[in-house]
């Protein structure tokens, strides 16, 4: 006897296939530990946050701080446990029946497929072309279906790293009959946002994360920006008290010291320029420009061997070669100068000895 949804029988559990090594450059995490920065202030603030209770004023404080940071009214925001949970709630809110589906570009964020499938929402993909651009006409044609409930655009795109054409994004929003989700997880590195257009386009919904730009991957905090009417509907599918008070307190404390994290992002951007230059100078390596905190590159037919060589030398990067557009490609997270130097040294060594 099978007790669950029939479609779950053919699904596999969500899994991240990244080596767990001493130098972690595979999951776009930060090398900066936020707890060390805000520890004293956080512990002081926690003295007034009683975790034996559901309610605390920290929730209103956090929403006010986040609204100020995102430069939108508080009623245009809803928070949760990472951008992934926000995706899950969005997918759950738009699914109407078994015929409902979303549309995304590909390659793009790996878990659009995972989380849409988790709620029984189908998903269709339009492949990027070789220069990581897309045909807006073909994309809109896929969306032009009564069963299409959501159009997804990751900007900048992960794992290609590029910003999508702004005019094409606007055209998609204007011509779509459904919600258009823009994933701005890497907003702080690209500096590009569409949050100022949520009142102009009521079908626009944006997600962001603190995992990358605020060095808080393990803390799990993400948020949605949209028209207040959309926020009200999304809250209907969310569990009450779904985000714990300790996380809220930590994020509130981090926002009080946001300049430290934003300055760190600037260092990462500078480090990225340096790594890009050094990688590009290695014969046999081709690296793509990026508006994120990672670089995607290829060593041609030697890419998989390079990936394994780095893993054997305790350096973890991410394999992104599963889509034809990124055949023989990998992705490396920009880290501190020590990790970056070790990475470059081992790439050079491999390419010289192959």
At residue 168, the pLDDT reads 98
Same domain membership, residue 303 and residue 201: no
Query: Does 5 map to a domain?
Result: no
Closest CA to 106 of 149, 142, 144, 148: 142
Are both 67 and 140 inside the same structural domain?
A: yes
* 225 and 295 inside one domain: no
279: domain CATH number is: 3.90.1150.10
Tokens of 322: 């599963």
pLDDT at 11 (0 to 100): 86
Cβ pair 188, 212 in contact under 8 A: yes
User: Is residue 322 domain-shared with residue 195, that is, in the same domain?
Assistant: no
CA distances (Å), 260 to each of 52, 255, 273, in order? 32, 10, 20
Enter the pTM of the model. Answer: 0.96
Burial of 216-250, coded b for 16+ CB within 10 Å and e otherwise, reads bbebbbbbbbbbeebbeebeeebeeeebebebbbb
Q: Which residue range(s) make up the domain with 250?
A: 34-257
Query: Is 28 within 8 Å of 212 (Cβ atoms)?
Result: yes
CB 227 within 8 A of CB 199: yes
Token pair of 111 as six digits: 């878990």
Structure tokens belonging to residue 223: 């948020």
pLDDT given for residue 177 in this prediction: 94
Q: What is the CATH number of the domain that holds 57?
A: 3.40.640.10
* 163: three-class secondary structure by DSSP: coil
Q: Is 13 a domain residue? A: no
Q: What is the mean pLDDT of each run of 10 residues along the chain (354 residues)?
A: 89 84 96 96 97 97 98 98 97 97 97 95 98 98 98 98 98 97 98 98 98 96 98 97 97 98 98 98 98 98 98 97 97 98 98 92
Residue 320 confidence (pLDDT): 97
Provide the pLDDT for residue 7: 87
4 part of a folded domain:
no
CA 178, CA 71: separation in Å to the nearest integer? 25
pLDDT of amino acid 295: 98
Q: Based on the domain organization, do 169 and 263 belong to the same domain?
A: no
């Amino acid at each position: 006897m099978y007790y669950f949804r029939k479609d779950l029988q053919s699904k596999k559990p969500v899994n991240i296939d990244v080596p767990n090594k001493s130098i972690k450059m595979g999951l776009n995490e930060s090398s900066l530990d936020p707890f060390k920065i805000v520890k004293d202030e956080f512990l002081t603030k926690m003295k007034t946050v009683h975790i034996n209770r559901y309610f605390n004023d920290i929730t209103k404080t956090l929403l006010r701080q986040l609204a100020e940071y995102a430069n939108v009214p508080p009623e245009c925001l809803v928070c949760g446990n990472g951008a992934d949970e926000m995706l899950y709630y969005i997918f759950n809110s738009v699914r109407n029946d078994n015929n409902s589906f979303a549309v995304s570009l590909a390659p793009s964020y790996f878990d659009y497929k995972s989380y849409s499938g988790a709620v029984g929402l189908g998903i269709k993909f339009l492949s990027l072309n070789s220069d990581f651009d897309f045909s807006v006409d073909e994309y809109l044609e896929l969306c032009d279906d009564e069963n299409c409930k959501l159009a997804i655009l990751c900007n900048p795109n992960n794992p290609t790293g590029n910003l999508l054409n702004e005019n094409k994004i606007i055209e998609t929003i204007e011509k779509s009959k459904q919600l258009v989700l823009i994933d701005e997880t890497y907003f702080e590195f690209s500096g590009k946002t569409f949050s100022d257009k949520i009142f102009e386009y009521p079908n626009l919904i944006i997600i962001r994360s603190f995992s990358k730009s605020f060095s808080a991957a393990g803390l799990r905090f993400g948020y949605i920006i949209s028209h207040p009417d959309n926020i009200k509907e999304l809250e209907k599918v969310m569990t009450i008290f779904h985000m714990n008070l300790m996380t809220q307190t930590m994020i509130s404390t981090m926002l009080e010291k946001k300049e430290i994290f934003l300055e760190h992002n600037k260092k990462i951007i500078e480090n990225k320029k340096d790594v890009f230059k050094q990688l590009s100078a290695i014969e046999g390596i081709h690296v793509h420009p990026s508006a994120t905190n990672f670089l995607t590159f290829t060593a041609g037919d030697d890419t998989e061997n390079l990936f394994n060589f780095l893993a054997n030398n305790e350096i973890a990067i991410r394999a992104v070669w599963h889509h034809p557009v990124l055949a023989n490609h990998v992705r490396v997270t920009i880290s501190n100068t020590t990790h970056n130097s070790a990475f470059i040294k081992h790439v050079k060594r491999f390419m010289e000895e192959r």
